[in-house]
Amino acid sequence: MNSISKNTNDISKTNQKNNELYKYLLLEEYIYLIPSELDKNIDTIILSKLKKKNEGKCYGNYGYIIPNTVEIKKRSSGLINNSSFDGKITYKVNYIANVCKPVDNIIVECIVTSIDKSQIICYIDDKKTSPLEIYLFKHNHQGSDEFLNLKEGDIINVKIGGSKSQHKDTQIVCIAQYLDKV
């Protein structure tokens, strides 16, 4: 899909130092309406369904769609499928959304949330709203006293080594290397 240039200062609840994680993309989706959902505000209904379906989730290989950033740019006039008798109307919708997609070797500022014997788990801002779940494995940081002295709540910089997500996941799982404490 196409990349859209847009100001990323409207990212709510995300750390502003991580702006390079986010990009506005032009995406496409098919939305289905049943006859009882039709009224004068078709665009509002389509936008609501689009947000419910995609925001706060990973969208294919594009990344995690940040909540409250979906904006419809274009939609078709709707097509009724004559072969089925349910009366559903299909709309092709082009929309932009702010998408979080970490790439390898990007530096991210995050908060240490959980520490156990084998790993440290970090998030950007809040655990529930973070698009990333970042794992730092202790066996990759042997001999680093600074890493071993990290505590929950510490703000740190990490370098992403790899990431994985599937369609409709609520977070992107990342493996990272500890760099320093902020």
Question: Strands, E, within the chain: which ranges?
Answer: 2-4, 22-33, 58-59, 63-65, 71-75, 79-80, 89-100, 107-115, 119-123, 132-137, 155-164, 172-181
- Per-residue pLDDT band for 5 (boundaries 50, 70, 90) equals very low
| pLDDT of 10 | 44
State the Cα–Cα distance between residues 72 and 92, nearest whole angstrom. 11
- Are 130 and 87 found together in one domain? no
The domain total for the chain is 2
pLDDT at 15 > cutoff 60: no
State the Cα–Cα distance between residues 156 and 136, nearest whole angstrom. 11
Domain interval for residue 119: 107-181
Q: Residues 132, 174: contact at Cβ < 8 Å? A: yes
pLDDT tens readout for residues 122-138: 999 889 999 999 999 99
Question: Model-level pTM greater than 0.95?
Answer: no
- Are 36 and 91 found together in one domain? yes
pLDDT at 40 > cutoff 90: no
- Per-residue pLDDT band for 143 (boundaries 50, 70, 90) equals confident
pLDDT tens readout for residues 58-110: 999 999 999 999 999 999 999 998 887 888 999 999 999 999 999 999 999 99
Max CA separation in the chain (angstroms): 68
Return the H-helix or E-strand segment holding 53. helix 42-54
- Are 6 and 92 found together in one domain? yes
pLDDT at 169 > cutoff 50: yes
18 versus 110: which is more confidently predicted? 110
Average pLDDT, the chain: 90
Q: What is the CATH number of the domain that holds 163?
A: 2.40.50.140
- Are 17 and 96 found together in one domain? yes
- Per-residue pLDDT band for 16 (boundaries 50, 70, 90) equals low
**Domain's final residue, options 58, 84, 100:** 100
- Are 61 and 9 found together in one domain? yes
Q: Per the structure block, which two tokens stand in for 135?
A: 């794992």
- Are 133 and 164 found together in one domain? yes
